[in-house]
Structure 1
């Protein structure tokens, strides 16, 4: 089975602590529904900085990451199908999915 990292992007912040709690419960329910395919639920992340060969940039990231998770699936099509109901979409966000390449030992 292949492994896929998916990153959460964009979307609005919950408008109240209650909405934030509800969204977290929906995400936890959704994540539990992925079963063993969700091999690393990941974490939310903080501020994104851009680092170039010239050093840190003061410009904002054009596509900051809000968090990540790692999924196991047969192929990209199955990964996309499994991720289709992610609650992050309810906040107007998107996911980016990338297959993780195996490194030779």
Structure 2
């Protein structure tokens, strides 16, 4: 099995109410439960990023496609990884998307 990185993109807001946070966590835990042992690293949400440009200039705008978080999974191939991503709860919000890339093991 190969490893794949799911990078969650979007500029939605984290739930602020306790009931919303609980419902969100239940949805994520349910999805992870369906994926089972394919989940290598459940990942985490991430905060606002900064971008360092080649000239050393730093942009503090979250990037052109803001990263919201990540997960690492195992799958047969990228098509299998795409299939597994389709049920991700983050996709219920049209402000989000998932970028999927194979992790290339070095040495």
Aligned length: 104
| Cross-structure match for 2:76 | 74
CA offsets 1:48-85 (integer angstroms, 9 cap, x no match): 11011222423521011111010101101111111110
Counterparts of 1:18 and 1:55, CA distance in 2: 43
Counterparts of 2:69 and 2:32, CA distance in 1: 14
Give unpaired runs (5+ residues) of structure 2.
Answer: none
Select the residue among 86, 91, 96 that pairs with 2:99.
Answer: 96
* C-alpha displacement of 1:23: 1.2
Deviating 4+ runs (over 4 angstroms):
none
* C-alpha displacement of 1:17: 3.4
So what's the TM-score if we normalise by structure 1? Answer: 0.88
| Cross-structure match for 1:25 | 26
Counterparts of 2:11 and 2:58, CA distance in 1: 24
Counterparts of 1:11 and 1:91, CA distance in 2: 10
2:48 equivalent to 1:54: no
* C-alpha displacement of 1:16: 3.5
So what's the TM-score if we normalise by structure 2? Answer: 0.87
| Cross-structure match for 2:5 | 5
Counterparts of 2:88 and 2:52, CA distance in 1: 30
Deviates more, 1:60-69 or 1:16-25: 16-25
